[in-house]
Amino acid sequence: MIPIRDTAPCYTRPYVTWALMFICISLFLFLQASPDKLHHYIIYIYGMVPARYTNPEWAVAMGYPIDYYLSFVTNLFLHGGWLHLIMNMWFLWIFADNVEDRMGHGRFIIFYLLCGFIATAVQWLHTPELVMPVVGASGAIAGVLGAYFFLYPYARIILWIPILLLPIFIEVPAIAFIGLWVIFQMAKASTAVMFYEGVSDVALWAHLGGFVAGFLLFHFFLRKDYPA
């Protein structure tokens, strides 16, 4: 099932959401066109490599500069492939505009980056020895989903069921769609813990950490002057 759009009204233009999408897409295209050496350098330096912070001696030996956890934020703007980028930008396009509308532009960008930072930290805590970079906006977008889950629980999400590419569409409440998404993330994370020593090719713990951060923090960022 692929979400196509939502039905929640939005009363302001989501400039921050558009800017985030523009930065992520532009960086991805730049890296795709860059030499492999530069591409590798940016992904490993500005992506979050957990072992870099868990084992500083190893990081120094590998030539990592001190960044004081800068990569816990910069990784949110990097993506590992076309599907990774498209899925994240699609979810950001559908869900972030309404959350930005309820928070205002300034509060929303702080909320987004804070959720992303917390999501990345949770991933680091669960895979502290990982030597591969964690990249992607997924953790911050999970925070947006956490806010949307409580702000618009009964908004309708239009889903496309791609059976033989036929135009089969259904509507479900946001609370059901996002709830199933969370259950799916928890199931995959549990499977990774039981069978793969907690390691997965998807930053599942970042997804869950971002979602929890989003629904715990969103009410601190809501606009006081939002029209009822």
Taking residues 142-160, report their average pLDDT: 96
pLDDT tens-place string over residues 26-38: 999 999 999 999 9
Alpha-carbon distances of 119 from 15, 94, 153, 166, 177, rounded to whole Å = 23, 20, 22, 36, 21
Q: Is 112 exposed, middle or buried (0-12, 13-18, 19+ CB in 10 A)?
A: buried
Taking residues 183-203, report their average pLDDT: 61
Give the three-class secondary structure for 3: strand
Phi and psi at residue 122, in whole multiples of 5°? -65, -40
> 38-52, 92-106, 113-127, 187-201: lowest mean pLDDT where?
187-201
Domains of the chain: 2-220 (1.20.1540.10)
Residue type, 26: S
Find the Cα–Cα–Cα–Cα dihedral 44, 45, 48, 49, rounded to 10°. Answer: 60
pLDDT tens-place string over residues 131-148: 999 999 999 999 999 999
- The whole-angstrom separation of Cα 140 and Cα 199 is 20
pTM, two decimals, is 0.92
The DSSP bridge partners found for residue 171 are 158
Give the sign of the dihedral formed by CA 119, CA 211, CA 181, CA 99. Answer: negative
pLDDT tens-place string over residues 91-115: 999 999 999 999 999 999 999 999 9
The pLDDT of residue 199 is 44
Q: What is the mean pLDDT of the chain?
A: 91
The pLDDT of residue 164 is 75
- The whole-angstrom separation of Cα 158 and Cα 7 is 8
Scanning the structure block, which residue is given the tokens 């400039």?
A: 15
